[in-house]
Structure 1
Amino acid sequence: MHLLAATPGTISDGTEAVDPGQSPADLVVISAADNELVLLAEARAALGAEAPSLRLTSLKHLAHPMSVDLHIADCAARSRLVVARVLGGTAYWRYGVEQYAARLAEAGVPLALLPGDDRPDEELKRLSSVDPADWEALRAFLVEGGPANAAGFLRWARAMIEGAPRPAPAVPLARAGLYWPGAAPESVADLARRWPEGAPVAAIVFYRALVAGGGTAPVDALIEALLARGVAPLPVFVASLKEPASAAELTALLAEAAPEVVVNLTSFATGTPDGGGAPNPLAGPAAGGAPVLQGLLAASTAEAWRDSSAGLSGRDIAMNVALPEVDGRIITRAIGFKGEARRDEATECTLARWEAEPGRAAFLAELAARWARLRRTPRAGRRIALVLANYPNRDGRLANGVGLDTPEATALVLRRLAAEGYRVSDPPADGAALMARLLAGPTNWLPDRHRRRGGVTLPLADYLDHWNALPEAVRAAVEARWGPPEADPFFEPGETDCGRFRLSVVEFGNVVVGIQPARGYNIDPKDTYHSPDLVPPHGYLAFYAWLERVFAAHAVVHMGKHGNLEWLPGKGVALSENCFPEAALGPMPHVYPFIVNDPGEGTQAKRRAQAVIIDHLTPPLTRAESYGPLRDLEALVDEYYEAAGVDPRRVERLRREILSLAAA
């Protein structure tokens, strides 16, 4: 049979055998948790000669019966102590449990079968051959976790092997608590000494397992990025958001710190689609209504993510995107990945550590900072951009959100914002008045665009500042498809300067209404609207650059489906800096009123443009009737059909009436 080499971070489905290729040692540890394997390897290196010789094996590589047989024969049966953490219990690894128990008993090698989580497992305890007190002690070291307990685990195992007195037991690690790199904060007040004075607080919620397994590099990178933006990080680890003790501690810390925004790095959801499930501490009164941003920790490598058009694996999407969406979290970026596998010769195991992606952590930190700024800014000072879709790109299809009277809804939003304390100058009385203002200026309709005045302008020099800050890959793709900025139909040459972009925006004080640019020009808009590879032209990028750099928007609101930002080229989720939705919008708070019966397209905006979807109902249904002269014409045609072949004189009279009415 063909054998595969063992590689960490991969999951074997048992269809192919994997040869761990390990020699015997004093101690063999089998675990499904990469973090735990890394932690034990680091503890062995730190202890030096005090540690027993050690072999580490991933349970994922022992799914095939032949893999089990090889490992027992070559390594386990010739070692002095074997400890296996069986994730899911005997039912999930029956062949392995049975074979290790039987064959190690024959070889006289002590075996400790431990549960892979923190719940006791009496069946595994019964099948183990070590003393029950040793079984409980070994389990406690690994359940509590952390560097000190990893070292304690190795010391205890050596004492068992040598028949020596047992060392100190495991040191408990709290189920939930505060974290800081290189420190052990005891309270929020202790943590606050490290914060910028008066800074908004951003809570970071992540799994206790990252602390226990030494996998906090992504969290550390996010803390550093938040501090660089003048935001005060409140890192809190939890065993699970569903665990009552963890939820209670998190709730108390949130109530004390009063965060402006929460960044959540845990997986799954606390609730269910029907509104059931455990209470969600991130949505409770203690969180104070803070927006919850979902940061992603991906089980793949960063290299695999960069090469993937999907962005994440199906498993990562399910755990870290789809289920968290049930709790209403704002999907952002992947800030951590499993590192490339590296062979540790001392343990004869290839190890994969959690590694941070600093650029993605910076994006998430900037997005969190902007949400905090939005919440802290008084309503009169908030600057909001309302963007209207235009598909296809004719003036007759302007502001055509699906299932929404977008002109009237936008006019209503403007008046409501004014009533709520936002600085809105001269809001339109109704949708017709708004449309008149928009149509008086430039739109996406190109034939007479050059004759229309109004709108706003972005000088070429300002655009080039923005353009040159974009990634090289983005600039190269745009130039290859559309040429230089001066070739864009939104661009106007200058008589005394370098020219400018004229953009479809109407200003109402601190609120503006803009027409979303087309994805291109001299193309078929229907065929290219959802194109996965058509990059936007310069005028498109200039529109969003004006919103951020000139208008200084606190938030962008796309008014109704059918926008095109979420369909720009790039990854499906966990976008990189080279993905065009990010190149256009950036780390901007984004709100998107969207028709409730199209969650599929709304999902694209959530996952690719960090959108908060605000559902609106479908329009009320009624019979589609004719009206006015069309109703009279329809009646004459029906009468003509009934008279045909029966009354020729009546048919002739009806024919004349139909033609006369049609010509009127």
Structure 2
Amino acid sequence: MPRRREAIAALEAQAAVWVGQLLAGEPYDPAPGMEAQRVLTWLETRLLPDLRQTPQELTQLLRGLGGHYVPSGPAGAPSRGRPEVLPTGRNFYGVDVRAIPTETAWDVGQRAAQAVIDRYTQDQGEYPRTLALSVWGTATLRTGGDDFAEALALLGVRPVWAGPSRRVVDFEILPLSYLGRPRVDVTLRVSGFFRDSFPHLLDFFSQAVRAVAQLAESPADNPLAAQVAQDTQAFLDQGLPPEPAYLRVFGPKPGSYGAGLQGLIAAQSWETPQDLATAFLNWSGYGYTGAAWGEPARDVLCQRLQNTEIVLHNQDNREHDILDSDDYYQFQGGLTVAIRTLTGENPIIYHGDHSRPPYLKIRTLKEEIQRVYRSRVVNPKWIQAMMRHGYKGAFELAATVDYFFAYDATAQTGADYMYQGMAQAYLFNPQVRAFLTRSNPWALRGMAERFWEAHQRGQWRAVDPELLAKLRRIIHETEALIEQRGQTAQS
């Protein structure tokens, strides 16, 4: 294995040299072989010309806003081996929803399922029984359904494709002898966009759950069947229909989107993590099956989460990270804080890195937060890059602080040294402080207030009193500056 890694590293280093020579218009040294030359020719004649057209994004946006025609193109992520989506700036279209998950997505999904199981067994010494997975529509469009395929693979169910279009027409239950492991009881928390774009997949998953629940397998091998049998009897004893026992797909109320946490976090309008859990459960407590679409099912969701061992969220590309979008903490953090409120402790929280499908990585959420913190959040190169973008760059710095804080509030992933490092890099670096004061004092005030809030809520514990005094001073100074600017603008 070390030799293989060394060989791969050497090949990647040589490839970087050739690409650099291509971009510089220099002759290749050493001369590439036949296969390498074929790839370099493709880069020169196809990929680079398309990449160089990406500045058209702004032009096409303005054309669209003006009511003019915008050329169409496929959706997807170039970094996921989808060069056909270039050039960007086109009116993108989706996919044939009847072909999701694709066979390629199934390959990724079943390997991802095994990677999660392997990581959990290494960490805990036993097979996982239950897992909650958030599934997004945008990621499904990019990947062809990696996340949905992973959920099926965890259940031990494989899609069946047919015809030249390779549409999904059925599913096949994989025997335990083929799986080589117990099945996993999977609960899905789907986004509103996924619900609206792929309604048939919600019914498909519900049918798969029902089929697996009816298998004559032991509770150790099929925890889903055991849980359904227990819940069915409980509902019958109460004189209630047993259908909710099979419910494993939850999402927002029909016509609604999101997870309900963004407004609370932004406005600081919550007292305890239980308030965040309540909001998440209220927003997510609607069940989706073929028979019942968007019916209130908050109590059933609570039952599912009380028994959940793993919270998993996957990321399919590296064009962004989990600290530059509020959706990550709303979904993964929301599931986590809800489970902690219901059970008194955090579940195991995993982040699935699917950005390079041949090299799937499963990290704990804390490991992923630490990785993003080191590689971007306090990286001077990234901070300098944001400073070249004026007001918007300052906003991105403030947003990073907000999302880090929110993840910590919901999933308890922060550490004192991270708060300290961000404060030093963003607020107490003279160059960055001057940039923020000049370009976006609102972002400066917002970050100082967020750090202060983190201390007040006990998330940032060991804080030097002198640093707190500096934070208070920044808040007061920026308040005065913003007020002064407002008065100048009015006059």
More helix by share: 2
More strand by share: 1
Which TM-score applies when normalising by structure 1? 0.23
Which TM-score applies when normalising by structure 2? 0.30
Larger radius of gyration: 1
